[in-house]
Amino acid sequence: MRYTLINLSLLFFIMLFSSSGKAGIKAGEAAPDFELFDQYNKPHKLSDYNGKWVVLYFYPKDDTPGCTTEACNFRDDIFRIRKLNAEVLGVSVDNTESHAKFSGKHGLPFPLLSDGDAKVARSYDALWSLGPIKVAKRHTFIINPEGKIAKFYRDVNPENHSSEIIRVLETLQK
């Protein structure tokens, strides 16, 4: 029993400190391009959205409480977001089949992109990994119509994040 508690404590310590560190992305620089498939197996490239604002949000796992709250809030606010010439793209390391179930269950009207090899999450410094375990961190990037990072969030509250994004988009566009 004691050995198990020590192992759990060590795992917690590693998880806590492996997710911290210097962020590789900076506001004002070009957002890393990508090509990922959505819940309908349709490819999406960041460059497809040139001329629009993009809300690129990374999330840990389909159909978990925080991820569901965040996705459903984006769903509920999608018309306000699109009125601001912005599109929402969700990204996790889950596969397209998982995304299809999650999207269908909650009526999500935006692409959920599958980053199975975690390369895109890594390029945005939005990946937590410990050996073979890989999970996207809950980070969001607002990308301007020229493809540059306008703002990013490393600390996201799923309850109010969508309304926060709307306020920031309104401010950035003034």
With contact defined as beta carbons under 8 Å apart, do 143 and 57 qualify?
no
Distances in Å between the Cα of 134 and the Cα atoms of 30, 44, 76, 130, 161 are 25, 22, 29, 7, 23
With contact defined as beta carbons under 8 Å apart, do 96 and 87 qualify?
no
End-to-end Cα, the chain, rounded Å = 59
For residue 67, indicate whether it is catalytic: yes
d(CA 70, CA 157): 8
One DSSP character per residue, 87-123 reads EEEEEESS-HHHHHHHHHHHT--S-EEE-TT-HHHHH
Q: Which of 36, 54, 56, 67 is catalytic?
A: 67
With contact defined as beta carbons under 8 Å apart, do 36 and 108 qualify?
no
129 C-beta neighbours (distance < 10 Å), count = 14
Give catalytic residue positions: 67
